[in-house]
Structure 1
Amino acid sequence: MNAKPFNDRFLRACLRHPVDRTPVWFMRQAGRYQPEYRKLRERYSLLEICQLPELCAEVTLLPVRQLGVDAAILFADIMLPLGPMGVRFQIEGGLGPVVETPIRQAQEIERLRPLEPEEDLPSILEAIQLLREELEVPLIGFAGAPFTLASYLIEGGPSRAFSQTKAFMYREPALWDRLLEKLTTAVTRFLKAQARAGAHALQIFDSWVGCLSPSDYRAYVLPHMRQLFAELQDLGVPLIHFGVGTGGLLALMQEAGGDAIGIDWRVHLDQAWQGLGYRTAIQGNLDPAVLLGPWELVEQRALEVLERASGRPGHIFNLGHGVLPQTPPDHLRRLVELVRERSPIFIADFSSREAAP
Structure 2
Amino acid sequence: MSAKPILKVLSGEGVWPPPAWLMRQAGRHLPEYRATRAQAGNFMSLCLNPELAAEVTLQPVRRYGVDAAILFSDILIVPWAMGQGLTFAEGEGPRLPPIRDRAGLEALDVAGAAAKAAPIMETVRRVRAALEAEHPTTTLIGFSGGLWTVACYMIEGKGGGEFKQARRLLHQDPAFFGEILAKLEAATLAYLLAQAEAGAEVLMIFDSWAGQLPPSAFRKWVIEPTARLRAALKAARPDIPVIGFPRLAGPMLVEYAASTGVQAVAMDTAMDPVWAAAHIPASLALQGNLDPEALLAGGEALQREAQGILAAMKGRPFIFNLGHGVEQPTPPEHVSALMRLLRTA
- State TM-score, norm by structure 1: 0.90
Aligned match for 2:48, one of 47, 51, 60:
51
Q: Does 1:78 align with 2:88?
A: no
Paired letter, 1:15 = S
After TM superposition, the structure 1 stretch with the greater mean CA deviation from structure 2, 325-334 or 15-24, is: 15-24
Letter in 2 for 1:179: I
| 1:168 CA displacement | 0.5
What letter corresponds to residue 141 of structure 2 in structure 1?
Answer: I
Residue matched to 2:7 = 11
Counterpart of 2:81 in 1: which secondary structure? coil
Structure 2 partner of 1:350: none
Q: Quick one: structure 1 residues 260 and 340, their matched pair in 2 at CA, closer, same or farther if it must change by over 3 Å?
A: same
Give me the whole-angstrom Cα distance separating, in 1, the residues matched to 2:16 and 2:55: 29
The answer as to whether partners of 2:26 and 2:72 remain within 8 angstroms in 1 is yes
Give the match for residue 332 of structure 1.
Answer: 335
Alignment of 1:82-101 (within 5 A): 82-99=79-96, 101=97
- Given the alignment of the two structures, is residue 127 of structure 1 paired with residue 113 of structure 2, yes or no? no
Cα deviation digits, residues 40-98 of structure 1 (max 9, x gap): 22232121112211111111110000011011001111111212211001122333211
- How far apart in 2 are the matches of 1:271 and 1:248? 9
Q: CA RMSD in A?
A: 1.5
* 3-state SS of 1:43 partner: helix
Note if 1:290 corresponds to 2:329: no
Q: Which moved more, 1:134-143 or 1:291-300?
A: 291-300
Q: Aligned partner of 1:93: which letter?
A: E
Take 1:147 and 1:115, find their aligned partners in 2: how far apart are those partners? 21
Taking a change above 3 Å as real, the CA distance of residues 163 and 60 of structure 1, as seen in their structure-2 partners, is same
Q: State the distance in 2 between where 1:313 and 1:212 align.
A: 30
Do the aligned partners of 1:37 and 1:59 also contact (CA within 8 Å) in 2? Answer: yes
- Structure 2 length-normalised TM: 0.93
Larger displacement relative to structure 2 (62-71 or 130-139): 130-139
What CA distance in whole angstroms lies between the structure 2 residues aligned with 1:111 and 1:117? Answer: 12
> What is aligned with 1:165?
166
SS at match of 1:205: strand
Does the 8 Å contact 1:151/1:162 carry over to 2?
A: yes
Secondary structure at 1:42's aligned position in 2? helix
Deviating more after overlay: 202-211 vs 239-248: 239-248
**In structure 1, what is the equivalent of residue 60 of structure 2?**
63
Structure 1 spans left out of the alignment, 5+ residues = 343-357
Instruction: Output the amino acid matched with 1:333.
Output: S
Q: Which residue of 2 aligns with 1:348?
A: none
Aligned residue for 2:175, secondary structure, equals helix
Q: Are the counterparts in 1 of residues 142 and 203 from structure 2 also a CA contact under 8 Å?
A: yes
Q: How many residues align?
A: 336
Amino acid at match of 1:70: D
Please say which of residues 117-126 and 332-341 is displaced more in the overlay: 117-126
Distance, in Å, in 1 between the alignment partners of 2:270 and 2:221 is 24
1:182-230 CA-partner distances (Å, limit 9, x unpaired): 1111111100000001101000000011111111111333322221111
Question: How far apart, CA to CA, are the structure 2 residues paired with 1:282 and 1:184?
Answer: 25
Deviation at 1:284, TM superposition (A): 0.2
**1:38 aligned to 2:39?**
no
For 2:111 and 2:309, the matched residues in 1 are separated by 39
Contact 1:210–1:249 under 8 Å retained in 2:
no
